[in-house]
């Protein structure tokens, strides 16, 4: 496994297992499979409704908690200092842990400054090792970085070969915020797994299109959290550290960037109405 070092000195695996859209009923099994396959970094969120499954797996997996890296996220409906503080305690209870390695604000809406103050407090108290944000576009990220006491360590944003976030990456680098990919496979959209460029490079290296896509992001120091409910694919997604993409490979994949979301824009009013209404 390779690691990145966050701006507060915490080491974070560059590849983890994401449980977005993993059914709560099978989350425990999936996380146990992932840990058994070799994953030591699990990414969940309050809004995924599967924190308890992750927590159960952590308790049963046989791996010391100190060897695991756990991320969760505070949802919009829990925004504001008091609600966020209570929700953090609830997440820790569901996750069956007395500390969280990385805590993120899930979306840039509602009183995220109040949420961040609760997160800063938890970080100073020692039961959160690092704090950051998710889905913060450059303008929101700059605004937050300029007016908080503990700099965000991570920004988890949609990032894949068709939306590489180069402009956003400039801002993240400027403020020493680690770039983390949400949806590294674009959830299969745009014929992701049959893309001829990814498959041609995959044939060259004896790898799948998915492995090539992950390796590309890893070589650009982007943290990735691929999701699968199938043990075989979990293992494949982890098997990306025994080869290196050359300059030609990297340039060919860089050319796939369409510079737009495969899903939606956080500037779209209908999207904002949906997100801010979810979970209320």
- pLDDT exceeds cutoff 90 at 46: yes
**Mean pLDDT computed over every residue of the chain:** 97
Q: Which of 17, 48, 112, 116 is catalytic?
A: 48
Sign of dihedral through CA atoms 91, 77, 108, 151?
A: negative
* 82 phi, psi to nearest 5 deg: -65, -45
| DSSP type of residue 43 | E
In angstroms, the Cα distances linking 222 to 13, 160, 177, 204, 249 are: 11, 10, 11, 23, 17
Burial class (CB in 10 A: 0-12, 13-18, 19+), 235: middle
Cα separation, 164 vs 135, in Å, equals 14
Q: Give the containing element (helix H, strand E) for 154.
A: strand 154-158
> Topology of 3-277 in CATH?
TIM Barrel (3.20.20)
Take residue 28 and report the two structure tokens written for it.
């425990």
Cα separation, 250 vs 61, in Å, equals 37
Split at pLDDT 50, 70, 90, the class of 280 is confident
> In terms of DSSP bridges, do strands 3-5 and 11-13 run parallel, antiparallel, or are they unpaired?
antiparallel
Take residue 258 and report the two structure tokens written for it.
């369409």
pLDDT digits over 85-133, tens only? 999 999 999 999 999 999 999 999 999 999 999 999 999 999 999 999 9
Active site residue 48: yes
Cα separation, 199 vs 267, in Å, equals 33
């Amino acid at each position: 496994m390779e690691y990145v070092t966050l701006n507060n000195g915490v080491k974070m695996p560059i590849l983890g297992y994401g449980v977005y859209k993993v059914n709560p009923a099978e989350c425990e099994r999936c996380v146990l499979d992932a840990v058994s396959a070799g994953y030591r970094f699990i990414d969940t969120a309050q809004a995924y409704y599967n924190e308890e499954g992750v927590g159960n797996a952590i308790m049963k997996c046989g791996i010391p908690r100190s060897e695991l890296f756990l991320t969760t996220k505070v949802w919009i409906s829990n925004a504001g200092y008091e609600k966020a503080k209570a929700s953090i305690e609830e997440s820790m209870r569901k996750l069956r842990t007395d500390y969280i390695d990385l805590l993120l604000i899930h979306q840039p809406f509602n009183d995220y400054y109040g949420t961040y103050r609760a997160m800063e407090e938890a970080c100073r108290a020692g039961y959160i090792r690092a704090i950051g944000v998710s889905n913060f576009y450059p303008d929101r990220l700059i605004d937050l970085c300029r007016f908080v006491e503990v700099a965000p360590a991570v920004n988890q944003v949609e990032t894949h070969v068709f939306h590489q976030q180069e402009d956003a990456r400039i801002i993240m680098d400027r403020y020493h915020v680690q770039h983390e990919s949400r949806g590294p496979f674009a959830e299969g959209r745009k014929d992701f797994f049959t893309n001829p460029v990814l498959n041609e490079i995959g044939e060259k290296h004896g790898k799948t299109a998915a492995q090539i896509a992950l390796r590309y992001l890893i070589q650009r120091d982007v943290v990735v959290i691929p999701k699968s409910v199938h043990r075989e694919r979990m293992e494949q997604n982890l098997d990306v550290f025994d080869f290196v993409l050359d300059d030609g490979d990297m340039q060919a994949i860089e050319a796939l960037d369409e510079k737009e979301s495969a899903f939606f824009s956080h500037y779209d009013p209908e999207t904002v109405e949906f997100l801010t209404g979810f979970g209320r």
